[in-house]
Structure 1
Amino acid sequence: MSTQTAVLTLLMQAAPDYCSGDQLAQQLAVSRTAIWKAIQGLQNEGYSIESRHGRGYCYVDNNQLSQPAIMQGITGPTTPTVIVLDQVDSTNAYLKRLATKQPLTMPTVVVANTQTGGYGRFGRAFYSPSETGLYLSIGLPIMAGMPFDPGLLTTSTAVVVAKTLRDLFDVPVELKWVNDVLVNHHKAVGILSEATTDLESGRISTVIVGIGINLTTPANEFPNGLQTKAGAVTTQTTVTRNQVVSKLLSYFFAGYATYTTGDFMADYRQLSMVIGQQVELKSGDQLIYGTVQDINAAGALVLALPDGTQQSYNSGEITKVNLITGDYHG
């Protein structure tokens, strides 16, 4: 661990109290000059470190993404490896490259301030501005014989995201099957699950769950065509992005060990904004019209078709929802 990272960690642990330069130097067995240089380096990187004569230094949490701050806030049974980047083409693409070079042996999370090539389902571009958004991918090693269910993993992640947003921001959250999270009837979060395959065995070796959150992005900054559909979680907040990531990862790994049981599906159904609604479903090359009867225990969409029959769909995209009530018309 570098002196700079060690100083940051100690200041975070002490906050909101101050630590003197002498105290930090003694704890880390370095000179006062080394401490001063570490503080300068942290401030240059965007961290808020207050300095007061006679008291020392104090860490003040801000919107700067920080690996130590995220790690400090994670609770629960699993502590993943966390990589924080200022800019990346795509957090999912970064993890796929990482897993291709060396198969993951433990959960690994990549968090970025901005993406230059963020993407969602079907390769659609995902708008990823700096500072106002949050982009992370969770890489999960899949060992031989380990249970894996892509549909339930995606739906369980949607519940985790919804729970995180409601807890931290107290906003109304809805889920549009299968991977869209809506706040105030606008898409605020997209979820994309992908996998890498072991070339020798042909089996899935790593699953990557990407999550893109429009945290405080102003409505007028979204590209044309998205302004009526996309939206932010909130307009302003004192909650930091580090706190959002820590809370989300804590919830995610608390439920990951049992997600294949579908024990979260009651929560998913309660959050669903499509049950009971007329929808247009695109499945492959087909457009299917029907009324959503349920989301079943496997996370599949159960449609009542015009001919009176019922059919379940494990994959596809709801392209239109005709709500009987509400303001969403996507």
Structure 2
Amino acid sequence: MLNDVRPIDLPTPQTLARELSARLDGFQDIAWTAGTGSTNGDLLARARQDSGTWLLGTHQQQAGRGRAGRPWQNRAGATLMFSCAYPVRMPAHRLPALSPLAGLIAGEALRSLIGNPDPLRVKWPNDLQWHDGKLAGILVESTRNLAVPDAYTVIVGIGINLSDAETLSQALGRSIADWATVTQHSNGLAVSVADIVCAVATAWRQAISQLETDGFAPFCHRFSAVDALAGRDVNIIDRGTVLFSGCARGLDEHGRLMVQTTRDLVPVSVGEISIRPRTAEQTP
């Protein structure tokens, strides 16, 4: 990261909540806090008692969760974090597609804000990457409305690194990206925190509505345009164990990652994906 690049500034929670309330349509409640345990957790607890389209953001999480329930915390001001709740009506078998859908739509929304979007891609199911550095993580959860058939509230939460990429890369031993790096390639476009939140939250709402009626199939070609894994050799990992390896071949109509092994084309719906570096013999 260049020394003269300034990270994007977070407005005060009150200022941000007011601006979002003025700009966002279709949300019944919008709030932003200085700190909370987990925005996903807060909305899940509320959704178990009520139903609505809500947005909750925070400057700091003390009990955030990543994939597989891993604990996750942040430095105040270094990460843009918010969650949205969307009531949906769909069969249970369609719910897993929400995870890659959330990644695709957030990736498209962020790409629309910058002048050079190509390096911003989606690693299945929903990690956003700038080149091969992780820029953002997404967590999708749901709770069922037992009084109505096929009725759920879906909670989609995102954490976008605004700064600290160099420090995090060194601490974690892997490549991390941040929005300060992305803005170096935005052709001078001024993008505010509110711009990011509005773009992502609105796009999620529209896409989830389409998923309700049409399923994931219409999104497959869109995912292929931002797919960070397409054509790459990968390991499929569950609880630290490599289940199998192969070459990523895009997504099917259910949002599952298709992996070509030496024997079969295998659909993957759960697990972690690691990219296998090519050996000299594999390099064309």
Task: Please classify the TM superposition score into its range, dividing by the shorter chain length.
Answer: 0.7 to 0.9
Deviation of 1:188 after TM superposition, in Å, equals 0.8
Match of 1:207 in 2: 154
Unaligned runs of 5+ in 2: 1-8, 184-189, 280-284
Match of 1:13 in 2: none
CA deviation string 1:245-268 (max 9, x = no partner): 112112222222112422222111
**Per the alignment, do residues 195 and 255 of structure 1 end up closer, same or farther by CA in structure 2, a change over 3 Å counting?**
closer
Cα distance in 2 for partners of 1:200, 1:214 equals: 39
Match of 1:6 in 2: none
Is 1:229 the equivalent of 2:185?
A: no
**Per the alignment, do residues 70 and 200 of structure 1 end up closer, same or farther by CA in structure 2, a change over 3 Å counting?**
closer
TM-score (normalizing by structure 1):
0.69
TM-score (normalizing by structure 2):
0.79
Cα distance in 2 for partners of 1:251, 1:243 equals: 12
Task: Select the structure of larger CA radius of gyration.
Answer: 1
Deviation of 1:181 after TM superposition, in Å, equals 0.7
Equivalent residue of 2:112, what SS?
helix
- Number of residues paired by the alignment? 257
Is 1:186 the equivalent of 2:113?
A: no
**Per the alignment, do residues 315 and 142 of structure 1 end up closer, same or farther by CA in structure 2, a change over 3 Å counting?**
same
Deviation of 1:132 after TM superposition, in Å, equals 2.6
Check conservation: 2:87, 2:154, Cα contact below 8 A.
Answer: yes
Cα distance in 1 for partners of 2:22, 2:147 equals: 38
**Per the alignment, do residues 200 and 113 of structure 1 end up closer, same or farther by CA in structure 2, a change over 3 Å counting?**
same
Equivalent residue of 1:88, what SS?
coil
Unaligned runs of 5+ in 1: 1-60, 325-330
Match of 1:297 in 2: 253
Corresponding residue to 1:156 among 101, 107, 110: 101
Q: What RMSD in Å do the two structures reach over aligned CA positions?
A: 2.8
Q: Between the two structures, name the one with larger relative contact order (CA 8 Å, sep ≥ 6).
A: 2
Is 1:98 the equivalent of 2:28?
A: no
Check conservation: 2:121, 2:226, Cα contact below 8 A.
Answer: yes
Match of 2:4 in 1: none
Corresponding residue to 1:71 among 16, 21, 30: 21
Corresponding residue to 2:60 among 114, 136, 142: 114
Letter in 2 for 1:153: L
Check conservation: 1:276, 1:292, Cα contact below 8 A.
Answer: yes
Deviation of 1:278 after TM superposition, in Å, equals 0.9
